[in-house]
A and B are shown apart, each in its own frame.
Chain A
Amino acid sequence: MGSPLVLAAGEVGGDFFRERDVGDLCQAQSGHLFCWDWAKENLDRYGTPTVQHLEIVLISVLVGFVVAFALALIAHRTRWLQPPLLTATGLLYTIPSIAFFFLLIPLTGFGRDTAIIVLAAYTLQIIYRNTILGLNNVPSSVKDAARGMGFTDRQILWKVELPLAIPEIIAGLRVAVVSTIAIATLVVFINAGGLGTQIYGEGNLTFPTTVIIAMAIVMGMALLFDLVLLTVQRLTTPWRRVRQA
């Protein structure tokens, strides 16, 4: 892949899979739902996977957003493109992620590039659909008023239509980011690292403590980004708050 954003292929393995001596920390290992002592001593092992996870998610969503946004702007101008593009992005979304990863292996190999291509492809539909929806929801009276004030088509798009479409666009981004954070756990299957290594790595699968910690980090990350984007939406659309008040 030729993306300049991807500078280095993901490095995985190594010291993620340190020796796990649970016996000392939790006496009866079997049937243990969560071993606090182990968690306290091993929390540091989640640092690198968390950073990797974040990187993969952010790059994927950024790539997906740029592509989907460009597609939406093209389809906004060339209206007949809207339904076929929706179908095409929908088909990409239908292919299960694990299958999608491995279908690309012969072309792009194991590692982070493949993970980013798939995750970015997944975000296309929701971002594209919501951007188009937002642009279509702009009342024609507003556009007429702008035109009457002497705005060019380009000015209308960037100064009137897009700002008014921000709530829908950000709603799409929120869904894209939250689901990408969850799906990125599966990139462990193509050796691209991330928090999935703490679920699927050697011996992890049968050790609920690590699965729960990784799951909590993933869901916490999703919640955090959801709140951040919600705040961004509030700050960029002050007129909405006025209307509600």
Chain B
Amino acid sequence: MNALPLASFSGAIEFIFTPQTSNVTGGNKVGGFDKSLELVLKHLEVTAIALAIALVVALPLGLYLGHRGKGELFAVGLGNAGRAIPELAVIALVAALIGVGLKTVAPALALLGIAPILVNTYVGVRQVDRGTVEAARGMGMSELEIMRKVELPLSVPTVMGGVRAAAIVILATATIAPLAGVETLGDFIINRNVYGENGLLAGAILVALLALTIEGLLALLQNRLTSDGLKLKTV
């Protein structure tokens, strides 16, 4: 079909840094560094807010359920169901039924991040050696202390696996947030008629780079949060 020439990769890079004359909008300049930066920041803002909401909901719930050893069916079932939800439908429904804007989009995106964090936290806590937990209890730790000082640190690698998965799904879905009135990098992609084909590709490049950067940073954070003792064990 209408494949673009290979050369448009350079066109897309140019689009990111200098405003281009759009043949669609009648000579108006579109794109450029300022616009790209604005959309990158908005994309990051939406992602950060949604991830924070997902963490606040899923982390304590996963810790609690894992600690009590309850709700395995709920946690694992939610994880499986979460994977089957089409993101596009979530954004469309939220926009049509609740309304557009950051206030509705961020919680909707958070919803997609809850399942991976909850499941991984649950599984991570369940994997903590029960003998270790008993030892902590024997030393006089309260249940809250056991969760915070024993189970959470020991399950950091698994929990962070869930956080990384959540961050990626939220960041990816934030690309279609312009459909619900939030101007993220997806604006370049969805409003093709304004930004042209170079803008489309520029949006794709920026979203991909952003995802790889965030994934890399979270991997570094995971490394920092994991105690040295745990790293010894896995080697």
Q: Which residues of A contact B (CB under 8 A)?
A: 9, 33, 91, 93-103, 105-111, 175, 178-179, 181-183, 185-186, 188-189, 191, 195-196, 199-200, 204-208, 211-212, 214-215, 218-219, 222-223, 226
Contacts and interface: CB of A to CB of B under 8 A. Distances in A.
Contacts of A219: 81, 84-86
Contacts, number: 140
A200 B201 contact: no
Given A100-B208, A186-B87, A214-B89, 18 more contacts: A94-B168, A99-B208, A102-B200, A105-B4, A106-B4, A106-B5, A106-B6, A109-B3, A110-B1, A110-B2, A181-B84, A182-B83, A182-B85, A182-B87, A189-B189, A205-B95, A214-B86, A218-B89
Given A91-B212, A96-B211, A178-B80, A199 B3 contact: no
Interface in B193-221: 200-201, 203-205, 207-208, 211-212, 215
Q: Is the interface of A mostly helix, strand, loop or mixed?
A: helix
Query: Which residue, A106, A183, A204, has most C-beta atoms of chain B within 10 A?
Result: A106
B3 A106 contact: yes
A98 B207 contact: yes
Q: How large is the interface on B (under 10, 10 to 19, 20 to 34, 35 or more residues)?
A: 35 or more
Nearest to B164: A94
B31 interface: no
Contacts of A189: 189
Nearest to A101: B204
B208 A96 contact: yes
A223 B34 CA distance: 45
A9 B1 contact: yes
Given A96-B172, A219-B85, A33 B201 contact: no
A199 B89 CA distance: 7
B176 interface: yes
